[in-house]
Amino acid sequence: MTVLNWPDLRNARDLGGLPAGDGRIKGRALVRTDNHDRLGAAGIAALDAYGVSRIVDLRWEWEAAKYRSPFAADPRYRLRPAFDDGLADQTPTDSYGQLVDHSRTRLGAVVEAIAEAPAGAVVVHCHGGRDRTGVVIALVLRLAGVADAAIAADYARTPGALPDTVANTLAHIDAVHGGVEPYLLGGGVTGAHLMAVRRRLTG
């Protein structure tokens, strides 16, 4: 995991290097950040120089309209709200299980956007880079074989994030949905998409 000092972003890091099964997550494959609406020319140039091939914005439509991304018209950009409408006021501290239960199709669409990205780095972000981003990163890292303890430790590097929140969320998915893979398949993700995510992150 590498903290990225990209101008105008407060919570950007590359997930490369995390242990994943018998290997590690590749560098410049998956990056998590906070909102991009503050990005100036230097920040935009930093993303371009990093080889970013896709930007997946997890915010609701109203957020994306109010705090417009400088990449909104860029062909690399995908707006894929992570949680269903009406859940904006729910920010649990112990688990995202209820949010995940109600947002299966939306989260499936996020994973598809990652799986279908061209070669290069995929950037995933919401507003602060904690809650929605934390859930999505946890799902794809689990798919790639990263242990829950390492996923929770990465999540906790974001200010205000407690490791048990994402650990409890993964445990909830296991108990209620039979694991991350069955959960995503039930949300419309194909087996080919799951394999594409694994290849992207681990080669």
Question: pLDDT 10s digit of each residue in the chain, 203 long?
Answer: 999 999 999 999 999 999 999 999 999 999 999 999 999 999 999 999 999 999 999 999 999 999 999 999 999 999 999 998 766 556 677 999 999 999 999 999 999 999 999 999 999 999 999 999 999 999 999 999 999 999 999 999 999 999 999 999 999 999 999 999 999 999 999 999 999 999 999 98
Rounded to 10 degrees, what is the CA torsion of 28, 168, 195, 71? -40
The Cα–Cα gap between 10 and 127 comes to: 11
Q: Which domain holds residue 119?
A: 2-202
Q: Max alpha carbon distance in the chain (Å)?
A: 46
CATH number at residue 137: 3.90.190.10
Coil, strand or helix at 174: helix
pTM of the model: 0.96
What pLDDT, on the 0 to 100 scale, is given for residue 124? 98
Strand ranges in 87-126 using DSSP code E only, listed in sequence order: 121-125
Burial (CB < 10 A; 0-12, 13-18, 19+), residue 33, is buried
Q: How many domains does the chain have?
A: 1
CA distances, 89 to each of 26, 66, 153 (Å): 35, 17, 25
